[in-house]
Amino acid sequence: MSVAAIRRALVSWEGFLLLVLVALITLNAFASPFFLTLSNQINLFQLSIEKVIVALIMTLVIINGEIDLSVASIMGLSACAFGFLFQIGVPASVAVALVLALGVFCGAFNAFFVTVAGIPSLVVTLATLIAFRGFARVLVEDRGIGDFPDWFDALGQNGLLGPLPFAMLLFFALAVFLFVVLQRSAFGRKLYFIGSNADVAAYSGVDVKRIKATVFVASGLVSALAGLLFAARVGAVRGDVALGFELDIITIVLLGGVSIFGGTGTIVGTVLSILIVLNLRNGMALVNITGHIQTGVLGVLLILSVLVPNIQRWFGSLFPRERTEP
Amino acid sequence: MKTLIARLGPDTVRVLALLLVLAAVVAFFASQIDNYFNARLFNRISTSVAIIAVIAVGQAFVVLTRNIDLSVGSIVGCVAYFLGGLVAAYPGIPAPLVPLIAMAFGMAFGLVNGFLVARFKLPSIIVTLATLAIFRSLLVEFSDGSSITTGSLPPWLVEFARIDAFEIGGLRFRWLVVIALAVVIVAHIFLTRFRAGRRFYAVGSNPDAAQFAGIDVAGTVMRAFLISGALSGLAAFLFLSRFGNITVVAGLGLELSAVGAVVVGGVNIFGGSGTVIGVLIGATLINLLDTSLVRWELVSEFWRDAVLGLLILLAVALNTLLTKRLLARPKTALPPPSTTPPPATNAAKDAP
């Protein structure tokens, strides 16, 4: 790695996020001796595992120039569908498969209205946010369903590889997979292409509708998976599983440097953003800042993250850039 | 038929299509529910539509300029709380001043959004997603978990939401409803008859062209957020009067209903076209569905949201389809480009 490459990496958004993350971890480590313990780090990850898994796939949706507001409702619906199926006597393993299929269906439902009917995804997924949540309530009404088999609960709770829980391994596997898809595959390149200019992509022979549909279906599938993980971690489901998670998920993705207009962003950025958000929340909890205030601080951070390019440009205009190439 | 549509113009066609959907919904439920169609239905729907309609009209101004305001629910919560605290501490404030104070409060919040969006050119969806959280956390911080109670408010304020302004043949118009209607009418006249109003459409349908035409684009966007803030403040006054008890979760989720009313009402989410009359019908349609589904014996109460979400989607799809079909006519009679929705593939780039 040459000096220029290192310099480039440092001034990139991901480099900036890395600096913030290191600063945050250092601060937190001073604030509490328990912070840096492995169990605390795993614990803070584990408690948000469903959100962060969906943030990975949301990265693709937004890069593609769309938005999926219904993810949290799909999570809720999936968790409730699992509880419902389990309660009427379907074996848990079959129920898991059926719920994943349901996630694919939900994604396809969104995709149909976005690509075939031509309704903006913001509108479609706003409506399905309400509808899918409604179906979750239809399935479990006002009950809570629990007592799942031990092997199922273990997926969300216990360590699989040493202290690493199954869900965390799943997260890293998905992150690596989506990284490869985005940065190394033709599909990934088309995704960025569509996100930066869907019309030009279509005229260049890219099957815009098919790729958009694929991304929505993937979003549905991953959201269903996250719903199952929620059910496994908590060991019970209710109609309000994952209620309101969509805002946190979108905040994480945008903070990771993904443009809301599509076409830019990386999985690395999203993963760094996830670590920042988790450590920030954990650190604030350590100094007794709670709930809505934490969310407020994240809001300020979100505005700052979109302000940074403006500040950079303004700063850059003060100091004309010197050449770094020899 | 075609010439009639050409003469009516696309906005009128859209409103008529919406009215058709509304009539179909009423007819459907009238056939399903005994004694459905009566004055009580009107009284109930109109009262609960009033608050959301006021917020949705403000939202429409923002959406017309190609932006979105997701923070309205938090603004309503904040203003209702601060206003409640203010009138509880100073019960002597003259009644007509109170809604004006509420609007000023709301405008202050709108100013924050407008400043960040218009001056710094930040995407409104991100700014208002952030201020949605920030305003709410301000409320939590200031209220320290305490709430406003009906008992601490002056009696006139608590009474206000329940007083009828006038009555026409059993249809009772409460002051709440009259204020909402006034907001819709004033906004409609402003948007359709005044040059300053047409600027919102110009900015939304093509910001670059508007800039070249000498329109102050940033200023117009700023005004849209100020209007949205002010109307959210007015809605907060109505909210305070209607519910009396204000906790830190007051107004939570109102942004969804407001955006829902705007899109069902046929305002193009990518800016440039739509009417506030449509928004009023959109808000009414959603509320009518919501209320009617509760009374429909065929479905249990748990089905309410499921059916509501699907019907919203259906209403938007139907409206999109009807409008597209009705507006598809010979090139010579094409409406100005600004009024046709952009093709779906182009949609992503123009997202607010």
Beta strands in A62-198 (DSSP E): 145-146, 159-161, 164-165
Distances (CA, A) of A13 to A16, A257, B274: 5, 7, 38
Is A134's CB within 8 Å of B305's CB? yes
- How many CB atoms are located within 10 Å of the residue B139 CB? 25
Picking from A16, A47, A7, the residue whose alpha carbon sits closest to that of residue A255 is: A16
The radius of gyration of chain B's CA atoms, rounded to the nearest angstrom, is: 20
Q: Which of A67, A126, A296 sits opposite B138 (nearest CB)?
A: A296
pLDDT score at A244: 82
Contact list in A for residue B328 (CB cut-off 8 A) is: none
Contact list in A for residue B269 (CB cut-off 8 A) is: 120, 122-123
Element at B40 (helix H, strand E): helix B39-64
Least confident of A127-131, B130-134, B228-232, B345-349: B345-349
Q: How confident is the model at residue B1 (pLDDT cuts 50, 70, 90)?
A: low
Contact list in B for residue A195 (CB cut-off 8 A) is: 348
Q: Which of B137, B139, B310 sits opposite A131 (nearest CB)?
A: B310
Q: What does the pLDDT look like over B8-22, one tens digit per residue?
A: 777 788 888 888 888
Instruction: Give ∠ CA A69-A70-A72 in degrees, rounded to 5.
Output: 105
Predicted complex ipTM exceeds 0.85: no
- The upper half-sphere exposure of residue A250, i.e. CA atoms within 13 Å in the direction of its Cβ, equals 24
**B312, A69 in Cβ contact below 8 A?**
no
- Answer yes or no: pTM beyond 0.90: no
Distances (CA, A) of A129 to A42, A132, A137, B113, B177: 30, 6, 13, 25, 29
CA distance B351 to A222: 24
How close B318 gets to chain A, by Cα (Å)?
Answer: 10
In sequence order, the β-bridge partners of residue A146 are A236
Residue type, A32: S
Does the pLDDT value for residue B352 go beyond 80? no
CA distance A229 to A241: 11
Least confident of A16-30, B98-112, B319-333: B319-333
| pLDDT tens-digit profile, chain A (326 residues) | 566 766 666 667 888 889 889 998 888 888 877 777 888 888 888 889 999 999 999 999 999 999 999 999 999 999 999 999 999 999 999 999 999 999 999 999 999 999 998 888 988 998 899 899 999 999 998 888 988 988 888 887 776 666 788 888 899 999 999 999 999 999 999 999 999 999 999 999 999 999 999 999 999 999 999 999 999 999 999 988 988 888 889 989 998 989 888 899 999 999 999 999 999 888 888 888 877 788 888 889 888 888 876 766 666 666 555 555 44
Q: Which of B127, B132, B313 sits opposite A128 (nearest CB)?
A: B313
B225 contact partners, CB below 8 Å, separation of at least 6: B62, B67, B69, B110, B111, B113, B114, B117, B118
pLDDT score at B299: 74
Distances (CA, A) of A143 to A77, A92, A233, B85: 14, 19, 18, 38
Contact list in B for residue A202 (CB cut-off 8 A) is: 345
